[in-house]
Amino acid sequence: MTNKYLNAFLILLVLSSHIYAQPTDITNSLYETYESYKESTLNKRRIKHHELLPLINKYRKNPKFDVRTVGSSIEGRSLSLISIGSGETDVFLWSQMHGNEPTATQAIFDILNFLDRNDFEDEIGEILKNLRLHFLPMLNPDGAEVFQRRNTLGIDINRDALRLQSPESKTLKGVRDSLNADFGFNLHDQSTYYNAERTSKPATISYLAPAYNYEKDVNEVRANAMKVIVYMNNIIQKYAPGQVGRYNDDFEPRAFGDNIQKWGTSTILIESGGYPGDVEKQEIRKLNYVSILSAIYTIAKENYRDIALSEYEKIPQNDRKLFDLKIEEVSYDLMGSEYILDLGIQRPEVDMQGHNDFWYSSRIIDQGDLSTYYGYKTFKAKGYKIVPGKVYAKTIKSFNALNELDPKELLKSGYTYVRVEQLEEDILNSPIPIHIISTTYKVPKFSVTVGKNPTFLLSKGQKIEKAVINGFLIDLDSGKTDFVNAMIYK
């Protein structure tokens, strides 16, 4: 290699290392020190507006921050904007446009805690000197109150960018226009059943630089969003390798993300999906904190500009081929013939009164050849046969008397239902891996059918070795299971 080309190569190497070295260092530190900044009062998904008010008021009294009420919801809950920094580049982050998508809302308060401290003095100094950050933590507080996607008007705020029918939509548009923000972070949750295309890995985080027209053109505004996404993807890959997806960028003319991109703000959509064992999405919250703060830092340093746009297209697309439980090649007798089936089972959540907690009511979502689908848990059932469960012959007097039963022994004996004479109205699900039924309930004829609750036993030879109760797999020898609840049928 000639000196001329050697020098050019070395310069390129130095530049590329400069682009990624400093952010990597801060990312490691952010991840390792996260617990110091985590907002401890928020530790579950079903957060409410009133839980945020003390935190917002804390920052209202803090001279580092500027806190303004910028609007109110249909039911009169306040919409607050929390700002900090003195830079010329405005960065606007808004969360919980959909009331049941709160992961990034929690991460925002973690980020605010970070910005209020002096532990990362140099990095925070760079951020606040070069940027003005604006956080709108909960755009749809009425939806959050009942843990639903839509607002009280029953509309999807993210499809109201043109008509601006709801006050929440008008507030988002008004804030965006008043700031004329350079960058926007549109923060959401997505279904836990998304996976990174052609892999069994969940799309723990998915990104999109929304298109601003049907042609999906890329101007400087959209290109900057793409470059920041590439940077964030590199961060997430370290902590959740292979668990990043990219949304389809078909233009949606009613959507806020697409329009905010069109209005001149480099818009980055972040969707928080699933992570094994992280029901309350607290690990994903941490990944939001680390990746968003690191992205803010690279925007402040402007070293995202040298990232190659071609890297954006290399992020796998989002797919939706995950089940909570996939059972492969199980034998099923139907009308005297034996068939081999794959079963795809999902566990939808049912909100409890007050919308502070939930239980599971599982369903068979698909069956047949599911070889192109994946499971958070996959059981290879070749050699196993589906056996319908029976009703235990003895009627139990009361719910409390269930403690006298051994559920595992009942399952081994072929029982999946127990009758209880006295069933209190406020008991909604069974805490033991047996369905509880009233004295008058008639168990439907057994069938393996899409839409039905997945409850059956699995035998090998003459021995019942496994049970599937409300979509939870139970090993009857070891007792190993991730069981949460069974059903009550009255």
pLDDT digits (tens, 9 = 90+) for 408-446: 999 999 999 999 999 988 899 999 999 999 999 999 999
Residues sharing a CB contact under 8 Å with residue 473, sequence separation 6 or more, in sequence order: 325, 327, 377, 379, 466, 467, 481, 482
Is the predicted pLDDT of residue 337 greater than 60, yes or no? yes
What is the predicted pLDDT for the residue at 33? 97
What is the predicted pLDDT for the residue at 23? 54
pLDDT bin (cut points 50, 70, 90) of residue 19 is very low
What is the predicted pLDDT for the residue at 25? 72
User: What's the Cα-to-Cα distance from 33 to each of 38, 103, 115, 202, 244, rounded to whole Å?
Assistant: 9, 19, 14, 26, 23
pLDDT digits (tens, 9 = 90+) for 287-300: 999 999 999 999 99
pLDDT digits (tens, 9 = 90+) for 377-399: 999 999 999 999 999 999 999 98
Is the predicted pLDDT of residue 247 greater than 60, yes or no? yes
Residues sharing a CB contact under 8 Å with residue 22, sequence separation 6 or more, in sequence order: 301, 303
CB 72 within 8 A of CB 142: no
What is the predicted pLDDT for the residue at 24? 59
Is the predicted pLDDT of residue 1 greater than 90, yes or no? no
Is the predicted pLDDT of residue 26 greater than 90, yes or no? no
User: Domains (ranges, CATH) in the chain?
Assistant: 17-319 (3.40.630.10), 322-489 (2.30.40.10)
Q: What is the rounded average pLDDT for all residues in the chain?
A: 95
Average pLDDT over residues 90-106: 98
Is the predicted pLDDT of residue 173 greater than 90, yes or no? yes
pLDDT digits (tens, 9 = 90+) for 31-87: 999 999 999 999 999 999 999 999 999 999 999 999 999 999 999 999 999 999 999
The model's pTM is 0.93
Q: Hey, what are 201's tokens? A: 């890995």
